[in-house]
Amino acid sequence: MMDKQKIYPRSKDRETVYLKNVIIDPSIIVGDYTMYNDFVNDPVDFQKNNVLYHYPINHDRLIIGKFCSIACGARFLFNSANHSMTSLATYPFPIFFEEWGLDVSQITEAWDNNGDIVVGNDVWIGYEAAIFAGVTIGDGAIIGTRAVVTKDVPPYTIVGGVPAKPIRKRFSDETISALLTERWWDWPEEKIARNLAAIQSGHVDQFK
């Protein structure tokens, strides 16, 4: 039986963690077996180093599904990184409410609030990619190295670049539809183990 409660899934590797087991912020929700690798910083510090501008006053959330693979240096940039686009000034006056005689309750008016970041299941996020607030990444998607993701990514789509744009789908529409129906990541562990050969070979028709 696999142990999804451990921090380090590999006995001699302290650069890779099961992310769910190092998160303490209740507004960061991570599914089972999702892993993060970091060869620069301690991967245990993902919450501090990789989830940026994520302040409780916004009530925004980072939601990551099961079986995701997140590479070193991937960043999730939340709403407080924004400056208001409707204001005539880019300067965030409400942050400095004491200087300008504003009420502290106005502080969130300093930035646009685009909502949560939602990452589906079995998503691979490449080295130093940046995911912006309000983005939803579909199941099975791949985010290229140093991509800057400002818009939603459809399931099983590879994106890359600055800003990130679709490169191609991973599979045929028929296979994608079958995968989204089967949702193998929700299977019991025993069934996943029994179907690993089919999963790894890319043959959805061999699921049993």
Q: What is the pLDDT of residues 165-177, one digit of tens each?
A: 999 999 999 999 9
Q: Per the domain annotation, does 8 fall within a domain?
A: no
201 and 159 in a common domain: no
Q: Per the domain annotation, does 93 fall within a domain?
A: no
73 and 121 in a common domain: yes
Q: Would you place residue 5 in the very low, low, confident or very high pLDDT band (cuts 50, 70, 90)?
A: confident
Cβ atoms < 10 Å from Cβ of 196: 10
Which residues are catalytic, by number? 83
Q: Would you place residue 4 in the very low, low, confident or very high pLDDT band (cuts 50, 70, 90)?
A: confident
| 201: helix, strand or coil | helix
Q: 140 pLDDT exceeds 90?
A: yes
206 and 121 in a common domain: no
Would you say 137 and 149 are in contact if contact means Cβ atoms under 8 Å apart? Answer: yes
What's the pLDDT score for residue 3? 80
- What is the average pLDDT value for the chain, to the nearest integer? 96
Q: Would you place residue 1 in the very low, low, confident or very high pLDDT band (cuts 50, 70, 90)?
A: low
198 and 154 in a common domain: no
pLDDT digits (tens, 9 = 90+) for 42-93: 999 999 999 999 999 999 999 999 999 999 999 999 999 999 999 999 999 9
What's the pLDDT score for residue 108? 92
pLDDT digits (tens, 9 = 90+) for 29-53: 999 999 999 999 999 999 999 999 9
Helix (H) or strand (E) holding 196: helix 196-201
Query: What's the number of domains the chain is made of?
Result: 2
143 and 162 in a common domain: yes
Instruction: List, in order, residues 6 or more apart from 105 with CB less than 8 Å away.
Output: none
Domain that holds residue 27: 16-78+112-170
Could you report how far apart the first and last alpha carbons of the chain are, in Å?
19
| 61: helix, strand or coil | coil
117 and 66 in a common domain: yes
Q: Per the domain annotation, does 84 fall within a domain?
A: no
What's the pLDDT score for residue 44? 98
CA gap 160, 24 in Å, rounded: 31
Q: Is 128 exposed, middle or buried (0-12, 13-18, 19+ CB in 10 A)?
A: middle
What's the pLDDT score for residue 2? 73
144 and 54 in a common domain: yes
